Structures are given as structure tokens and as C-alpha cells.
Amino acid sequence: MMERRQFLKNALNATTLVGGSAVMAKAGAFPLGAASANMSVGSLAIDTLAQNQQYYKRFNEALKVKPHLKAWEGVTADISPTQVSWQGTLPSQMHNHHFYRNGPGLRVRNKTRYAHWFDGDGLVNQFALHKNGVTHKAKFVETEKYRREENAGKFLYSSSGTRIAHAELAKSPQSISQANTSLLPVNGELWALWEAAAPYRVDAETLETKGEQAFSDALKGVPFSAHPHIDRQGNIWNFGKVSLSGQYAFVIYHLSAAGQMKQFKLVNTPRDSYVHDFAMTERYLIFYLSPLIKGKRNEVYTESYSWYGQKEGRVFVVDKNTLEAVADIPTEPGFVYHFGNSWEQGNALVVNLCWYDDAYVFKTAMADLVGEQAPNVKSRASQLVINMTSKTAQLVKSPHGMEFPMFDAQFVGQKTQIQTGIIRGSNPANPRYNTVASYNTQTDNMDAYEYGENVYVEEPIFVKKQGSNKEGEGYLIHTYLDFIKDQTGVSVFDAQHVADGPLATATLPYYLPLGFHGTYV
């Protein structure tokens, strides 16, 4: 049986049969992602310790006058079951279902605090939905990193966006996984996902961590990214980003609905761009390679990337049948976190995405939560139209800001016109994401509900109405944080009448840290 390093070395030396597919690439050594030089000696470690202590104090002082920072305050322990009642009426088809969310939960240990939004051990929140109310509980994903640091009583490793004094050298990306980004329901379990490591399996009922998801010895420790996509047959598609001595590649994953490997393949890419998500049509996987490009490895992962605005963006397309790259198309420079539904239209691919004009949100706005340096930076609901005959791509930007785009999953890979997400509020002087919205890309109509200036809203999940085959007919469920009332709430909307307000809301007697992504089962 082949280990990860040997698999990658073989694949990049010669043609290797992998999962039934041939792989061609060049030789090299496998870097350890966020891991880098040991910070445990010298003046640099002393300086970093002072910076850690300073940021911890700075955050605590800022929290007294900036209550919105409660969104990133974090929690320090699992949360026991708490039951609250609905205000309004929950649709009957949602009785006895579960809504889950994942995100950075534990953000401080031993008077050291993470500074970047990406950082924090994964906290899985379960909201059990019943006719009369919601039962909430939450539990940390017990990754290798979490267990080691829990025993030590301090952070042992530098993280995605925060340098930690006296940090240990990580053995691999898996050893520093925070499993804090999203959740994939598979075979009655939840897979807690992070960008640069394999999933952690979580019991969907108890939230107990069951261990790492193992695909094969060859893929042990190879990244399985945090945004898998599911096709109409239920198959799971994903990628993992690897680089070997200057050769950059994606591992493309094709799994069954039960999480069993169908095929995988290493596909070379033209540059080492930061890639968070991708798009999928019936026949293709589509990646946007921004000019946010990785350079010299850095102990802090986000600091490894630099923005090259003079370079073009690139649209990289992989055929789902052969797992071969079939297009590498130059387009305008920009930055994308999240994609919506995408489809084939004649010889074109139409890709919904949330477009930033540059990577300021990645490099600066999310890097210092206390400073809140870029409140007006926003992504726009946009479409990328790719001509597969002429190998050209055109970006069509809407005037509407949107993030965390979702859609009616029964139409995945088919032409749709409705996407849901979150948008900024109407006050330009205080433009927080406090609004849930449904956007019709054909009519340009925005159906939105704004909570108020003291609220952050989180990604709404679309739940289709039972028996419906009409796009957009269903419900939206999401969480929100009211940082003045110190409450987190769960709300359910009629997806076709968002502006009318929630059908049902349940409010917890405490507040939770903002997360990233969730799922409904």
C-alpha cells in the first residue's frame, strides 16, 4: 500500500495509475502547507510573544466599546442542550429535522488570542427542530490539534492567519487541522471540513468526533477542501490543493453518495493561487485561479500569499469524465470565495459567483478583527460566461453585493435564476451583513429582509418544499447574532417572500461565535 508522500512523488515523476486514471506531472517534495520554521528560539519568538499578549489585551479593551466583536469572542467549552420555543410557526415538513453550523469556536487559550477570522477550533452547532421549539447544543471537533492543545492548555501551532510564539513545527497539514469551515452529511454522519486536510467524522446526533475520514493510504493527509459539490445523482466532487517543488496541482475527488471513492486524479495547474471553492456543471469542474498567488512559504498560511493585480485571472476547467484539464483561459483579475449554481448553455458555461475586485478582504479585512479596516469591501453577485469554443471568458457584474450564495439543489447543474445569500444593510455608514436575501438574476429583483444594525446574519440554507419541482419554492433557515441583546437566533423564511419576515424564530439565551457554513438534514 502506498503512502501519501510516495503517491505524490510517483505521480509527479511518471505516469501512475491512480484510482483507474493516469496521472502525469513532475517530481518534487511535498510541502506542509501552513507548517514552516520552528519559532521556538531567538528574538523573533520574544517579539511574537509580546504581540500575542498585546493583541489579547487589545481585543478585550475593544470589546468594551465595540460590542460587535462578540461575533469573534469565541467560547471555551462545549454547550449542553438548551431548548427554546418558536415565535411563529415552523413549517410542518421541517419538524424533526436538524440544522447544523460549523465555524471557528475556540479562539483564545492562556491569554493568547487568534487575530484572523479563519482561526479557531471547529465548533459544530446542532439545532434540533421540533414543532414547538428548537434544542441547541454544540461540541468542538476533537482534532489532533485540539486534543494536544487542550492537554497543554495553550496553543502549540501557528494557525492560518495568526503567528503564535514558540510554535511547534507541524508534522503535516493534518496535524494542524481546525476542521472549522463546513459540514458534509455522509452516511448518517457529518464530515467536518477544513481547506488543507482530510475530513473529521462527527456523529450527527451526539456530535462526538469519530476520527479522520480515510480514503486510502495513498491519500492519507492529502487535502480534501471545504467546499465539496454534489451532483444530481448524489455523487460528491471535491479537490485538494498540493504543490511539489514548484509544480502545482489539484487532487480531484469523485465519491459516491455514501462517501466511497470512485476515482481520483492529480491534475497540474498553471499557478499556486488561493482557491477556496469551485463551480460544477453537468460535465465540468470550474476553478478560478486569482492573482492572489502563493510565494515563499510562511509559518502563517495567509501571509504566504501576495496579490499581483497586474496579472490576469485564469479560468481552469476540468472534464468530469476524464478528470483531465480541458481549458486554461485568461480573464480579468479579481478574487472569489464562493460560487453559486452553474450550467452549460450551448458552447458556454455560465458560472454564478460572488466577485471581489481584489483580495483586500483576504489580506487585510479579515486579518485584524479589532481594526475592522475595510467595512465597505464587498463582493458582487456576478456571472462568468465561459465560451468553450473560443476559449474566452467574460465577467458580468451586477450592482448587488452578496456573499454565501445558495440555490435550490434539485436544479444543480441546470439553468436557474434564483440564488440566496446575505447582503449588507442599507446604512452606508454601518454596512454590516445584516440582511437575508433572495436574488433573481434574470429580473434583477432583490427580495430581502434586514434585521437592523445590531445584527450579523449567517448563511441561509435552502430547503425545498416537499413535492415541489418549481425553482425557489421552499424555505430558508439561518442563524443570526444580535450583539446588543447578546442572543443568537434561528429563523425560517418562506423563500419566495423573504421581505415579509420570518415564519418562525427561536432565540437562545446566549450568543454564539459567527461561523462559516452549515447543512440541513
* Residue 372, pLDDT score: 59
29 pLDDT exceeds 90? no
Q: Is the pLDDT of residue 105 over 50?
A: yes
Using alpha carbons, select from 128, 132, 142 the residue that is nearest to residue 81.
128
**Contact indicator for 467, 456 with CB cutoff of 8 Å:** no
Asked if residues 174 and 197 have their Cβ atoms less than 8 Å apart, the reply is yes
Task: Tell me the torsion sign for CA atoms 184, 199, 186, 71.
Answer: negative
- pLDDT band at residue 13 using 50, 70 and 90 as cut-offs: very low
Q: Are residues 375 and 407 located together in one domain of the fold?
A: no
Domain membership of residue 478 (yes or no) is: yes
Does residue 424 sit in the same domain as residue 377?
no
Q: What is the mean pLDDT of residues 127-152?
A: 97
Same domain, 488 and 414: yes
Q: Which amino acid belongs to residue 352?
A: N
**Whether residue 388 sits in one domain with residue 322:** yes
Domain assignment of residue 11, yes or no: no
pLDDT at 5: 54
Q: Give the pLDDT of residue 27.
A: 27
**Lowest-confidence region among 139-148, 290-299, 354-363, 440-449:** 290-299
> Is 448 inside a domain boundary?
yes
Mark whether 387 and 339 lie in a shared domain.
Answer: yes
The pLDDT score that the predictor gives to residue 30 is: 29
Q: Select the more confidently predicted residue: 21 or 139.
A: 139
C-alpha grid cell, residue 37 = 520554521
Same domain, 449 and 466: yes
pLDDT at 36: 36
Q: Do 464 and 445 have their domain in common?
A: yes
- Cβ proximity of 515 and 76 under 8 Å: no
Position 462 in a domain? yes
Contact 353, 315 (CB under 8 A): no
Does some domain include residue 201? no
Amino acid 9: pLDDT: 52
Nearest to 480 by CA among 499, 509, 504, 460: 460
Residue 39 has pLDDT above 50, yes or no: no
- pLDDT for 358 equals 94
Domain edge (last residue) among 348, 367, 399: 399
Last residue of a domain, one of 399, 430, 451: 399
Range of the domain at 285: 276-399
| Whether residue 341 is found in the same domain as residue 369 | yes
Q: For residue 318, tell me if it sits in a domain.
A: yes
49 in a structural domain: no
304 inside domain: yes
For residues 392 and 412, membership in a common domain is answered with no
433 and 357 fall within a common domain: no
Q: What share of the chain is helix, strand, coil (3-state, %, to 5)?
A: 15, 40, 45
Q: Does residue 395 sit in the same domain as residue 406? A: no
Closest CA to 340 of 293, 265, 286: 286
371 pLDDT tier (thresholds 50, 70, 90): confident
**Whether 409 and 479 share a structural domain:** yes
The amino acid occupying position 150 is E
Of 347, 372, 399, the residue at which a domain comes to its end is 399
Structurally, the chain folds into a number of domains equal to 2
Residue 393 is which amino acid?
Answer: A
The answer to whether residue 297 scores a pLDDT higher than 80 is no
3-state secondary structure of 497: coil
The per-residue pLDDT of the chain, averaged, comes to 90
pLDDT digits (tens, 9 = 90+) for 200-225: 999 999 999 999 999 988 888 899 99
